[in-house]
């Protein structure tokens, strides 16, 4: 073993056990050894603890031989095995990266599991690792109700709250779910992560929701006093979370398995029976630094490290077993060495296991697409269900033509009528019906259990959506403005969009996130209400981004997104141009060319399919959202004033881009102008022009965009936003012939 600290920890445990007094007589397995812990359970906890410890040792050894890639260990945190013992293996568990002993102990509760092999395969990035398939080392298993977490710097807390929130709601609404009716959610994290706004917000949200609704969750804070090298002030966690309304706080010495077991049972029983949150605070120690590259002596004294070694939880459990006559010292060492041998043997196998072969292998579970199944889902459900009752006999297709907002409202209503698992929520979407009235009346029709208001926190809204998707719902959350998304983007990037990738499709969180965005709101706005920054969304692998420009497309595209979520577990963002919500006219006031009748069964609009307007052969204007009606008006002026015949391509989907249709229309016209209302840097036009270049398009191509600026208030916005005159000027500046 190459790591000196690991060797010292290993040797110290063996020497400690050799010094324990021999047990006079064996204890009965059912005998209570301490607190609520029987001898049999204490032995099982110890077996999980020593397996976890040897896995940490193996991680260092594998790294030293160039076969392992992950060394963040659980050593010192092995007391969390007692939390697993106190819970049921059907209780969903969102685990901290130091929860190795928890993972092993839970696996011991479910027949057929191989936790030692599985963890080692993850360390070696082996493609045969059963949860992530070599894409990351995670604690995860569908059989163990443990969704994989890849970072756990508090980012998993909002979705854990979302799952807890939806457990009882799913039972009430009859939604199919995997967890039992009385399940609770467990969520572990470190003391440093407790400072993160995501953790603070999630815990606050759980307490706030629990004022009126069930939230059966146990937050398990494993407090080792350090965030890598930054110290947590003594007493800070207790002061911050010990006296919160609707949060049952319990504390235990995390090195004492019996104390942890008793406290965990109390916390879990409270969450299970009261259906309210609990906070289990466990004081831990941390051995071997944060990870293999961390040299603790650069920020800790030798005396501090030695004091922690004396508080080794394995020593405490061994002493308990010996003192209670559950095991002799020799039996303890025999088990310890047997675990070492098993881990070593499995480590050699893992080191020789194959890895992912190529990019296609890596990306296979990223974002599955099954267009045929999606189309079938759209066709089989569109417009049916108990619609007449839902709409009180006034079906939307029997009414007048609708603008964009009306189509979205009607489609959401039909989706609620058709699919009992659909829920719609966000700030102000319920009683008020949304800031712009897009969800007006849906709460009364579908009920407040399915259309409801949330607290003002985008991380919580998206976390609720992720958890709801994992709990069997199909959530359609609303983010009130695009600018409000940016402080919560990691819930989409790091959590929602990565789940299928890091679980090989064994877990999914289908959702359609509605976001009101873009600019051009007359008489309203400023930076936070007029935002055109979409780069952070387009950068997320596998994310579907829909962006309709008119109502009939919006209705069909929203159905497609819901069908993709249902069929493929897709994570979709539905970007709605606020300025077009109520737009009725296209060219002149009163022409009503931008409204359309609602169809209960609209045409299928596949993901990544564009829409072409006109057949002009001189120029292709490529746009989306607000840019489409602007481009149509510009095309009319170009024909009238300059004899230039242009057609307009509405992309409709910003990810994946409709590359084939883009190339087809570009070749038909020979010249391309991308009309992009977003910013010049990081905007959509960069991807469009790149797609043309990649496909070998050789004609003149240019772009006209909004400026790289925040959007100011009032008329000043016109100085930085793309306008129709800009489109005309850019079109006329394009060369008329192909180069060279």
Q: Which of the residues are catalytic?
A: 529
User: In angstroms, rounded to a whole number, what is the distance separating the alpha carbons of residues 726 and 629?
Assistant: 14
User: In angstroms, rounded to a whole number, what is the distance separating the alpha carbons of residues 477 and 426?
Assistant: 6
| Largest separation between any pair of C-alpha atoms in the chain | 104
3-class secondary structure for 473-535?
Answer: CEEEEEECCHHHHHHHCHHHHHHHCCHHHHHCCCCCCCEEEEEEEECCCCCCCCCCCCECCCH
CB 121 within 8 A of CB 114: no
CB 541 within 8 A of CB 366: yes
Give, in order, the Cα–Cα distances in Å from 665 to each of 190, 597, 687, 692: 54, 28, 16, 11
Q: In sequence order, what are the residues at sequence separation of 6 or more whose Cβ sits closer than 8 angstroms to the Cβ of residue 217? A: 160, 161, 164, 184, 185, 186, 187, 206, 271, 277, 278
Task: Tell me the H-state helices in 149-300.
Answer: 157-173, 197-209, 236-241, 257-274
Task: Tell me the H-state helices in 174-196.
Answer: none
For residue 656, is the peptide bond before it cis, meaning its omega torsion is within 30 degrees of 0? yes
User: In angstroms, rounded to a whole number, what is the distance separating the alpha carbons of residues 619 and 666?
Assistant: 8
User: In angstroms, rounded to a whole number, what is the distance separating the alpha carbons of residues 216 and 144?
Assistant: 18
Q: Which of 584, 594, 651, 581 is nearest to 620 (CA)?
A: 651
Tell me the two tokens of residue 245: 């309304």
Torsional sign, CA 88, 92, 98, 100: positive
- For 68-80, letters b (16+ CB in 10 Å) and e give bebbbbbbbbbbb
Give the sheet arrangement for strand 646-650, strand by strand. 611-613, 646-650, 619-623, 672-679, 701-706
CB 268 within 8 A of CB 184: yes
Residues forming beta bridges with residue 249, ordered by sequence position: 279
CB 120 within 8 A of CB 173: no
Tell me the two tokens of residue 679: 């910013």
User: In angstroms, rounded to a whole number, what is the distance separating the alpha carbons of residues 217 and 187?
Assistant: 7
Q: In sequence order, what are the residues at sequence separation of 6 or more whose Cβ sits closer than 8 angstroms to the Cβ of residue 368? A: 500, 505, 568, 569
């Amino acid at each position: 073993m190459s790591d000196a600290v690991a060797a010292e920890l290993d040797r110290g445990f063996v020497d400690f056990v050799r010094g324990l007094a021999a047990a006079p007589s064996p204890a009965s397995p059912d005998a209570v050894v301490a607190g609520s812990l029987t001898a049999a359970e204490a032995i099982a906890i110890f077996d999980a603890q020593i397996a976890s410890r040897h896995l940490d040792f193996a991680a260092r050894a594998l790294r030293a031989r160039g076969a392992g890639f992950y060394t963040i260990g659980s050593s010192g945190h092995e007391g969390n095995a007692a939390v697993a013992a106190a819970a049921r293996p059907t209780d969903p568990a969102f685990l901290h990266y130091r929860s190795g002993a928890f993972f092993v102990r839970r696996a011991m509760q479910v027949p057929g599991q191989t936790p030692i092999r599985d963890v080692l395969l993850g360390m070696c990035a082996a493609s045969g690792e059963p949860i992530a398939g070599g894409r990351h080392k995670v604690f995860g298993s569908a059989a163990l109700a443990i969704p994989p977490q890849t970072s756990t710097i508090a980012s998993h807390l909002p979705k854990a709250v979302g799952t807890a929130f939806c457990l009882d709601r799913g039972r009430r609404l009859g939604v199919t779910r995997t967890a039992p009716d009385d399940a609770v959610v467990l969520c572990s994290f470190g003391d440093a992560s407790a400072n993160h706004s995501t953790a603070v917000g999630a815990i606050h949200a759980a307490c706030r929701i629990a004022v009126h609704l069930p939230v059966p969750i146990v937050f398990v804070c494993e407090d080792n006093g350090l965030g890598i090298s930054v110290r947590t002030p003594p007493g800070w966690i207790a002061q911050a979370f010990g006296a919160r309304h609707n949060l049952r706080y319990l504390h235990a010495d995390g090195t004492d398995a019996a104390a942890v077991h008793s406290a965990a049972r109390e916390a879990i029983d409270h969450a299970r029976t009261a259906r309210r949150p609990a906070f289990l605070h466990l004081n831990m120690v941390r051995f071997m630094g944060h990870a293999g590259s961390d040299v603790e002596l650069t920020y800790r004294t030798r005396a501090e490290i030695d004091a922690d070694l004396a508080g080794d939880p394995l020593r405490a459990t061994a002493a308990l077993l010996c003192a209670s006559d559950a095991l002799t010292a020799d039996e303890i060492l025999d088990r310890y060495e047997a675990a070492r041998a098993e881990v070593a043997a499995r480590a050699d196998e893992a080191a020789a296991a194959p890895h992912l072969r190529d990019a296609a292998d890596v990306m296979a579970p990223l974002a599955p697409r099954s267009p045929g199944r999606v189309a079938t889902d759209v066709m089989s459900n569109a417009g049916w269900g108990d619609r007449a009752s839902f709409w009180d006999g006034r079906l939307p297709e029997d009414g007048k033509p609708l603008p964009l907002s009306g189509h979205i409202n009607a489609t959401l209503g039909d989706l609620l009528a058709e699919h009992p698992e659909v829920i719609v929520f966000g700030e102000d979407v319920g009683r008020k019906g949304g800031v712009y009235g897009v969800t007006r009346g849906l709460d009364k029709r579908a009920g407040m259990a399915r259309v409801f208001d949330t607290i003002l926190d985008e991380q919580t809204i998206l976390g609720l959506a992720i958890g709801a998707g994992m709990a069997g719902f199909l959530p359609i959350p609303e983010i009130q403005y695009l600018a409000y998304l940016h402080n919560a983007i990691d819930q989409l990037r790091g959590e929602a969009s990565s789940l299928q990738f890091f679980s090989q499709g064994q877990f999914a969180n289908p959702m359609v996130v509605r976001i009101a965005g873009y600019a051009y709101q007359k008489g309203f706005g400023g930076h936070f209400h007029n935002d055109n920054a979409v780069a952070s969304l387009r950068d997320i692998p596998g994310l579907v981004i829909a962006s309709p420009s008119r109502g009939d497309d919006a209705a069909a595209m929203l159905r497609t997104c819901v069908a993709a979520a249902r069929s493929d577990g897709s994570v979709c963002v539905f970007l709605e141009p606020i300025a077009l919500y109520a737009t009725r006219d296209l060219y002149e006031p009163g022409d009503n060319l931008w409204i359309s009748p609602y169809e209960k069964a609209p045409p299928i609009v596949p993901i990544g399919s564009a829409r072409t307007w006109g057949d002009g052969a001189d120029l292709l204007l490529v746009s989306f959202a607000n840019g489409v009606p602007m481009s149509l008006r510009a095309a009319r002026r170009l024909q009238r004033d300059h004899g230039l015949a242009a057609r307009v391509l509405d992309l409709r989907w910003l990810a994946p881009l409709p590359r084939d249709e883009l190339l087809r229309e570009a070749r038909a016209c020979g010249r391309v102008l991308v009309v992009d209302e977003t910013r010049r840097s990081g905007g959509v036009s960069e991807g469009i022009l790149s797609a043309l270049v990649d496909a070998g398009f050789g004609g003149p191509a240019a772009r006209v965009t909004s400026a790289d600026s925040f959007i100011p208030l009032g008329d000043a916005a016109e100085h930085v936003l793309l306008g129709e005159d800009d489109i005309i000027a850019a079109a006329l500046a394009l060369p008329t012939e192909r180069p060279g």
